C-alpha cells in the first residue's frame, strides 16, 4: 500500500513567479510577517546560499549585490493556489491528508494503472493545470514517502517522481546512506546532534538502530520513526483536519513597547482575532492564555517574559475573551521593560454544539451574545476585517505589520486581478481521471 507525499517546490516563491513571469530565473525570496525572516527561496536564491529562516536584515548587502527580489508574504494568494492544487490532487485518491499549505499525503493503494504511473500523472497534471511544479515521493509508510519526496527533489535521476516503494532494498539503503539523519521526518537539529554522538549519522544508521534502544535513549516518537523507516506503518492518514486543540494569535510589534496602554490594545486585538478563528471553527474556549516578552536578541536591554492561563466558562464571546486576556496582561506586566511581542492562546476547546450546560446560565444573555458575535462576523466578512471592533483594540498604527513588498492578491480580490494577460488556472473536471 504505497503512500504518496506530494509537495510543491519553493511554493511561495513559485506562486509569485507564476503571476509575474519577469521573476523567473531570478533570485526571489519571500519574507515572513513583519518582513522578518526568509521563509521561501527560488532555486536561484538558494544557489546564492541564502539559508531558510535567515533574518532578512542580515542579508541586505548580499541581496543588493545579486539583485535579489524580496517579497512580503501574501497568504491570500498562496492559500488560494493551495486550494486549487489540493483539489486537483483529491481526484487521484479517495484518501487525502492535506498536511500543510503546500503538501499532502495520498493513499495510492489500487491506483490505476499503477502507483508509479499515477505519480507521474500527478506531476504532469498539477503542472499543466496550475503551473506549479511538485515533487512526488512514493513509500510504504508516511516517513518513507517523505524521504522519497526528498529524493525526488534533490536527485535529478528521478525527474520529480521517486517510487521508493518498488525499488530493490539495496537501492533504498543506498539512498538512505546518502542522506544525513536530519533529513528524516521527525529528526530536527537537536535530535540529530544527539544521534550523531551515538554514531547515528545517516538515515540508514537510524533505520538499522534497535527500536528498543531508541525508545529508552530518546522517545517513543523516534522509535516510531525507526519502525516507519523499516516499512512498518505506525502513522495513519488523517481523514479530516481534526479538531483544534489550541488557537493562537500573536505578533511581534513594529517597535518595542514599554507602556501598558498600547499593550492592552494589542492584546485586545489578538483576543479578537483568536475569537474570530474560534467561531469560524464552531468551538468554545475554556481557557484564555496570555504571554508577553521582551526582545531576546537585545542583550543590552533587561529581559522579562511571562505567561498566564485563566480558566473561564466555555465561551466564544470576544468581549469575555478580551476581558480575561486583559486581566492576564495586567498581572504579567512590569513597568520598565521594552516589550517586543505578545499573544493570546485559547485552549480547552470544545465544540459549541456539545457544550456542557450550565443550570444557572442566563439563556437570554447567551442568545444576545451569539447574535452580537454573528452580526460582527457578518459585517467584518462583508466589509473588511476590523470594520466593527471593540474600543479596547484602539487604532495604533505602530501595530500595523511591516509588509512593504506584498504582491497583489491576484486571484481573490476583484480589484487586484491581473489585467489583460491571463494564466490558465481553471480546473476542468473531465480532464481528470475519475
Binding site for DNA (CB under 7 A): 32-34, 36-37, 39, 53, 55, 57, 99-103, 146, 182, 185-192, 219-221, 242, 244-252, 255-256, 273, 277, 295, 297-298, 309, 340-341, 343
- Which of 34/230 has CB closer to DNA? 34
And the C-alpha cell for 218?
530518546
d(CA 247, CA 257): 24
Query: In the complex, what is the shortest distance from the CB of residue 250 to DNA, in angstroms, rounded to a whole number?
Result: 4
And the C-alpha cell for 401?
505589520
Partnered with residue 310 across adjacent β-strands are 288
Query: In the complex, what is the shortest distance from the CB of residue 277 to DNA, in angstroms, rounded to a whole number?
Result: 6
d(CA 101, CA 85): 10
Confirm if 116 and 139 have CB atoms less than 8 A apart.
no
Query: In the complex, what is the shortest distance from the CB of residue 259 to DNA, in angstroms, rounded to a whole number?
Result: 16
Query: In the complex, what is the shortest distance from the CB of residue 270 to DNA, in angstroms, rounded to a whole number?
Result: 8
Query: In the complex, what is the shortest distance from the CB of residue 433 to DNA, in angstroms, rounded to a whole number?
Result: 26
Dihedral sign for Cα 50, 53, 54, 56, please: positive
Query: In the complex, what is the shortest distance from the CB of residue 422 to DNA, in angstroms, rounded to a whole number?
Result: 28
User: The sheet that has 339-351: what strands, in order across it?
Assistant: 247-257, 339-351, 283-294, 305-315
Kind of pairing, strands 283-294 and 305-315? antiparallel
Task: Determine whether 54 is exposed, middle or buried from the number of CB atoms within 10 Å of its CB (0-12, 13-18, 19+).
Answer: middle
Confirm if 137 and 145 have CB atoms less than 8 A apart.
yes
In three-state secondary structure terms, 222 is helix
- Which of 154/432 has CB closer to DNA? 154
- Which of 54/120 has CB closer to DNA? 54
CA distances from 203 to 1, 179, 222 (A): 22, 6, 12
- Which of 88/278 has CB closer to DNA? 278
- Which of 401/425 has CB closer to DNA? 401
- Which of 130/250 has CB closer to DNA? 250
- Which of 298/334 has CB closer to DNA? 298
- Backbone φ and ψ of 351, nearest 5°: -60, 135
Query: In the complex, what is the shortest distance from the CB of residue 418 to DNA, in angstroms, rounded to a whole number?
Result: 26
308: number of Cβ within 10 Å: 16
Amino acid at each position: 500500500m504505497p503512500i504518496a507525499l506530494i509537495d510543491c517546490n519553493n511554493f511561495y516563491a513559485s506562486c509569485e513567479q507564476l503571476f509575474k513571469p519577469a521573476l523567473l530565473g531570478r533570485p526571489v525570496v519571500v519574507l515572513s510577517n513583519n518582513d522578518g525572516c526568509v521563509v521561501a527561496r527560488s532555486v536561484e536564491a538558494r544557489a546564492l546560499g541564502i539559508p531558510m529562516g535567515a533574518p532578512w536584515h542580515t542579508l541586505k548587502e548580499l541581496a543588493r549585490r545579486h539583485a535579489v527580489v524580496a517579497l512580503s508574504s501574501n497568504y491570500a494568494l498562496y492559500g488560494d493556489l493551495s486550494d486549487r492544487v489540493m483539489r486537483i490532487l483529491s481526484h487521484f485518491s479517495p484518501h487525502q491528508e492535506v498536511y500543510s499549505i503546500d503538501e499532502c499525503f495520498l493513499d495510492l493503494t489500487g491506483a490505476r494503472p499503477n502507483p508509479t504511473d499515477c505519480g507521474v500523472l500527478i506531476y504532469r497534471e498539477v503542472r499543466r493545470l496550475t503551473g506549479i511544479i511538485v515533487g512526488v515521493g512514493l513509500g510504504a509508510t508516511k516517513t518513507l514517502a517523505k524521504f522519497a519526496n526528498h529524493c525526488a527533489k534533490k536527485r535529478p535521476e528521478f525527474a520529480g517522481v521517486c517510487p521508493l516503494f518498488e525499488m530493490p532494498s539495496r537501492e533504498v539503503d543506498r539512498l538512505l546512506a546518502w542522506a544525513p539523519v536530519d533529513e528524516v521526518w521527525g529528526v530536527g537539529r537537536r535530535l540529530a546532534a544527539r544521534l550523531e554522538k551515538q554514531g547515528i549519522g545517516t538515515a540508514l544508521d537510524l533505520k538499522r538502530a534497535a527500536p528498543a534502544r531508541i525508545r529508552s535513549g530518546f522517545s517513543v516518537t523516534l522509535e516510531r520513526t525507526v519502525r516507519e523507516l523499516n516499512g512498518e506503518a505506525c502513522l495513519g492518514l488523517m481523514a479530516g483536519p481534526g479538531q483544534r486543540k489550541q488557537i493562537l494569535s500573536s505578533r511581534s510589534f513594529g517597535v518595542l513597547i514599554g507602556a501598558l496602554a498600547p499593550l492592552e490594545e494589542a492584546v485586545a486585538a489578538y483576543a479578537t482575532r483568536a475569537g474570530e478563528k474560534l467561531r469560524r471553527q464552531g468551538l468554545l474556549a475554556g481557557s484564555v492564555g496570555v504571554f508577553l516578552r521582551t526582545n531576546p536578541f537585545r542583550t543590552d536591554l533587561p529581559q522579562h517574559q511571562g505567561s498566564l492561563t485563566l480558566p473561564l466558562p466555555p465561551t466564544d464571546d470576544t468581549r469575555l475573551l478580551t476581558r480575561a486576556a486583559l486581566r492576564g496582561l495586567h498581572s504579567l506586566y512590569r513597568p520598565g521593560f521594552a516589550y517586543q511581542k505578545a499573544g493570546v492562546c485559547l485552549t480547552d476547546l470544545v465544540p459549541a454544539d456539545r457544550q456542557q450546560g450550565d443550570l444557572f446560565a442566563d439563556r437570554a444573555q447567551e442568545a444576545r451574545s451569539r447574535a452580537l458575535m454573528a452580526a460582527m462576523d457578518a459585517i467584518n466578512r462583508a466589509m473588511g476585517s476590523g470594520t466593527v471592533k471593540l474600543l479596547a483594540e484602539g487604532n495604533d498604527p505602530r501595530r500595523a505589520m511591516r509588509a512593504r513588498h506584498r504582491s497583489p492578491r491576484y486571484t481573490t480580490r476583484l480589484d487586484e486581478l491581473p489585467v489583460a494577460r491571463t494564466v490558465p488556472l481553471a480546473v476542468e473536471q473531465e480532464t481528470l481521471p475519475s
